[in-house]
Amino acid sequence: MNLSRTFRCTAVAACLLAVLPVAHGQDVIRIGEINSYKAQPAFLEPYRKGMELAVGEVNVAGGIDGRKLELITRDDNASPGDAVRMAEELISREKVDVLAGAFLSNTGLALTDFAKQRKFFYLAGEPLTDKIIWGSGNKYTFRLRPGTYMQAAMLVPEAVKLHRKRWALVYPNYEYGQSAVAAFKELLKAAQPDVEFVNEQATPLGKLDAGSTVQALSDARPDAIFNVLFGADLSKFVREGNTRGLFEGREVVSVLTGEPEYLDPLKDETPTGWIVTGYPWYGIQTPEHKAFFLAYHAKYNDYPRLGSVVGYTMIKSLATGIRKAKGIDTDKLVAAFSGLVVESPFGRISYRAQDHQSTMGAFVGKTKNEGGKGVMVDYRYLDGAKFLPGDSDVKKMRAAE
């Protein structure tokens, strides 16, 4: 036996084995995604499907410069602390290249701060509080969905047309609800100076006492109601409001209610005539949405929800940004996302350099109880770019960056 030759072969094999994990890692781009899957399944299960559809499309097309996308998800238990722990685990143990996700605004803010502290790229897909892009905005965080200011700005012109003076407000008492109400009050007051806010019901998230809330609103005798509730809280509120006649003769303006995640469960309890933001998937005839719908339906034999659009567009945004950056270097990725143009099911959007907010818009219309099912009617798509503040205002709001 030639011992020298045997030693040389063994040494070469050991070197190859040492190199293999690195080579494998270079062939994959790992996306670490964190969300409240158990707490908010109505939105996040379709969202997960949208992400998986987009990952599949990117990989079938050859990946990004030959590198495939890999999606690694974690549940944050609707807890900011858990969200940060999951982010740390994804970076240190799973070696992810970017972070994405969050549904609740408080978990999104926790990840926004984490990204700043760790100097790690984070794309917030869904959380709606505007602190993510303004008050707590930072170099490393971008946000996809139109936030509370944008959606309030879309609804306020419709609210003004109602010519109602006395308004009541009902919202979940955490960051998203507080942010939405603050934006609506500021914008409505500016557009209609004589408006009065006669009652506010700030309810615990997921723990609405529908009876006392509806009674308090009714006792205030408002002309109109601005509603920010969603999910199970929304269903309870609508049911109790219908029972007690709260909505009779009163206008309601409502954020998110037109999204199928929240409109579908209302079924024959759906109120008619609420002015809402939402997603009328059944009526959007643009080529880009038709292509998305057909691909989604072919894969899942189901119709998309708004979560599906958000998850899909978030992954497509990351793929487009990584391709433009020619890799996953954080600083190059930040530069690539500043002004990045992305094709989405809602058409072309871009990420603004000044505040890292995308220009994705929303549909505004009215609810209708149509044969025992809730739908949106008289809707139109509003371009998000038209409902964002200018550069000088953004500079003031991001002064602490």
pLDDT in tens, 228-266: 999 999 999 999 999 999 999 999 999 999 999 999 999
Confidence at residue 1, expressed as pLDDT on a 0 to 100 scale: 42
Within its chain, how far is the Cα of 3 from the centroid? 63
Residue 26 binned pLDDT confidence (cut-offs 50, 70, 90): low
Instruction: Say if residue 9's pLDDT is above 50.
Output: no
Helices (H), ranges, 132-230:
148-161, 175-191, 210-220
Confidence at residue 6, expressed as pLDDT on a 0 to 100 scale: 41
Mean pLDDT of all residues in 99-104: 96
Joined together, the tokens standing for residue 8 give 């040389």
Residue 18 binned pLDDT confidence (cut-offs 50, 70, 90): very low
pLDDT digits 0-9 by tens, 306-351: 999 999 999 999 999 999 999 999 999 999 999 999 999 999 999 9
* HSE, side-chain direction, 13 A CA sphere, residue 377: 11
Instruction: Say if residue 11's pLDDT is above 60.
Output: no
How far is 344 from 356, CA to CA, in rounded Å?
A: 17
Mean pLDDT of all residues in 92-99: 98
Mean pLDDT of all residues in 164-169: 98
- Tell which wins on pLDDT, 399 or 251: 251
Helices 306-325 and 330-337, packing angle to 10 deg: 120
Instruction: Say if residue 304's pLDDT is above 90.
Output: yes
Joined together, the tokens standing for residue 366 give 């009215």
Q: Which domains are assigned to the chain?
A: 24-147+285-361 (3.40.50.2300), 149-281+363-387 (3.40.50.2300)
Joined together, the tokens standing for residue 76 give 């944050």
Instruction: Say if residue 289's pLDDT is above 60.
Output: yes
Instruction: Say if residue 24's pLDDT is above 70.
Output: no
How far is 186 from 155, CA to CA, in rounded Å?
A: 13
Mean pLDDT of all residues in 99-109: 96
Pairing mode, if any, of strands 341-344 and 347-350?
antiparallel
Mean pLDDT of all residues in the chain? Answer: 93
Instruction: Say if residue 170's pLDDT is above 70.
Output: yes
Measure CA of the first residue to CA of the last residue in the chain; give whole Å. Answer: 68
pLDDT digits 0-9 by tens, 186-235: 999 999 999 999 999 999 999 999 999 999 999 999 999 999 999 999 99
Confidence at residue 158, expressed as pLDDT on a 0 to 100 scale: 97
In the numeric block, the tokens 């070469």 are attached to: 12
The DSSP secondary structure of 112-160, one letter per residue, reads HHHHHHHT--EEE-S---GGGTTTT--TTEEE-S--HHHHHHHHHHHHH
- The whole model's pTM is what? 0.91
How far is 353 from 357, CA to CA, in rounded Å?
A: 8
Confidence at residue 401, expressed as pLDDT on a 0 to 100 scale: 59
Angstrom distances, CA of residue 4 to CA of 12, 15, 16, 221, 363? 12, 17, 19, 94, 74
Confidence at residue 398, expressed as pLDDT on a 0 to 100 scale: 84
pLDDT digits 0-9 by tens, 273-286: 999 999 999 999 99
Pairing mode, if any, of strands 374-382 and 362-369?
antiparallel
Residue 391 binned pLDDT confidence (cut-offs 50, 70, 90): confident
